[in-house]
Amino acid sequence: MKNLVIRSGSLRMGGLERVLIEMIQNLNFNKYRVSLLIEDDSGEENIFLKDIPKEIDLYFIKNKEMIDKTHSYRMRKKNIFYKLMYNYYMHREHKYVPEKTKEILKEIEEKHGEIDVFIDYDWGARRYVDKLGLKRKIVWIHNSVPNMLKKEDKIKRFGENLKKYDLVVAICDEMKRELEDIYPYLKGKVKRIYNPFNLERIEKLSENKDDLNERDLKLMEEGYFLGVSRLDEVQKDYTTLIKGFKLAKEKGLKEKLYILGAGPSRKYIENLIKENSLENEVILLGQRKNPYIWMKNSKGFVHSSKYEGFGLVIVEALTLGKSIICSRCEVGPVEILKDGEFGFMFNVGDFEKLSKEFLEISKDENIREKYEKRSLVRARDFSTEVVMKAYEEVIDE
């Protein structure tokens, strides 16, 4: 039985965290003895804590008190005193985390023997992973490196850190090509593995009304398109989404637009809605634990990002047989939708094309049904059964 250690940042609500849980729930515990290292113990925000299989040993690296203290100084660091305190605590954390990780790994080895494979699932150990004395190290990359880091010196340093791993896993082919183009020395060390999706679970949740109140049920009776993403204008480009939707309304679109999510740009988006007199047509529903019932009952799914790592919600919409409208953004969406074969695509910022696609799905039932059928076919490529075979292959190499 292989001794496997998986490390990641948190168990808070997020796309990467959802994928982590899906993956660990489907590991073969007859083949692997699994320990999970989570950097942040976020207390009540450990949303996925209850979803960790009982077969897994769980360890937290940083406790809640340490996290809260650093956060409190960060929030007030415009004040010189708090800035100094924040820098001190960050310096302390940078020393503490590798030391505590070593301590936990030693405890795991004393309990289960030598660690065969260490998976750094959110690349958070990249600065010190070579100091841990591990036999085999694999790192997962979930985002486009240039879009994530932007600055040339940071991109260069990131590549130097990736050299420390025995294998680098990218979550789509385009991301794999991107990594090998930026870092030619990684050629032969990068493998593509899609994120796993439990299609049956998503379908089941799409029928679950437990979290809906009376207002929700009334809203769901309306015809609507749905967007699900972090409310972040820089990445998600809500300006294009609202402009495209408004133009479609002016040309006769009957459906409304509902948006699920929370984030730093909520006020900006609210103002955008107001400026375009769409208060009764665009509804911000906030963050919902179960977005799938909203997806299932929508006329179609829309995603307007300037860039993406993969695009989890796009696969989830495919799973529910939705017609999808998506920007042709880097990196994952073009690959997921095969550049328009499995969904409608528009160039980033092209709100006029977006408006036409709203209308096409709304008014042409034959086209809508054609894409709904295609969605269900494409979703199978991302099923847990298919993807976990690829996971096992890299673990067992």
User: Do residues 43 and 17 touch, judged by C-beta distance below 8 A?
Assistant: no
Which residue did the predictor score with more confidence, 341 or 90?
341
> So what's the pLDDT on residue 82?
61
Question: How far, in Å, CA of 220 to CA of 373, rounded?
Answer: 23
User: Do residues 313 and 303 touch, judged by C-beta distance below 8 A?
Assistant: yes
Digit-coded pLDDT (tens) for 253-307: 999 999 999 999 999 999 999 999 999 999 999 988 899 999 999 999 999 999 8
Q: What is the mean pLDDT of the chain?
A: 93
CA-CA distances (angstroms) from residue 355 to 117, 270, 304? 49, 20, 12
| Residue 351 pLDDT > 90 | yes
Intervals of CATH 3.40.50.2000 along the chain: 2-198+384-396, 199-381
> So what's the pLDDT on residue 395?
96
Digit-coded pLDDT (tens) for 96-144: 899 999 999 999 999 999 999 999 999 999 999 999 999 999 999 998 8
Beta bridge partners of 45: none
Question: How far, in Å, CA of 162 to CA of 88, rounded?
Answer: 27
Q: What is the CATH number of domain 2-198+384-396?
A: 3.40.50.2000
> Tokens 């911000």 appear where?
284
> Tokens 């050299």 appear where?
163
> So what's the pLDDT on residue 75?
72
| Residue 73 pLDDT > 80 | no
What torsion do the CA atoms of 180, 185, 189, 190 make, to the nearest 10 degrees? -10
What are 118's two structure tokens? 């260490």
Helix residue ranges, H only, the chain: 15-25, 64-75, 80-112, 145-149, 152-162, 173-182, 199-205, 214-220, 233-236, 238-250, 266-275, 292-296, 312-319, 332-336, 351-363, 365-379, 384-396
Q: SS3 for 167?
A: strand
User: Do residues 5 and 116 touch, judged by C-beta distance below 8 A?
Assistant: no
> So what's the pLDDT on residue 81?
63
| Residue 222 pLDDT > 80 | yes
What are 170's two structure tokens? 């990218």
The DSSP string of 253-321 is: ---EEEEE---TTHHHHHHHHHHTT-TTTEEEEE--S--HHHHHTSSEEEE--SB-SS-HHHHHHHHTT
pTM to 2 decimals? 0.80
What are 367's two structure tokens? 């086209």
Topology annotation, domain 199-381: Rossmann fold (3.40.50)
Q: How confident is the model at residue 233 (pLDDT cuts 50, 70, 90)?
A: very high
How many residues does this entry show for the chain? 397
Pairing relationship of beta strands 344-346 and 324-327 according to DSSP bridges: parallel
DSSP 31: T
> So what's the pLDDT on residue 85?
67
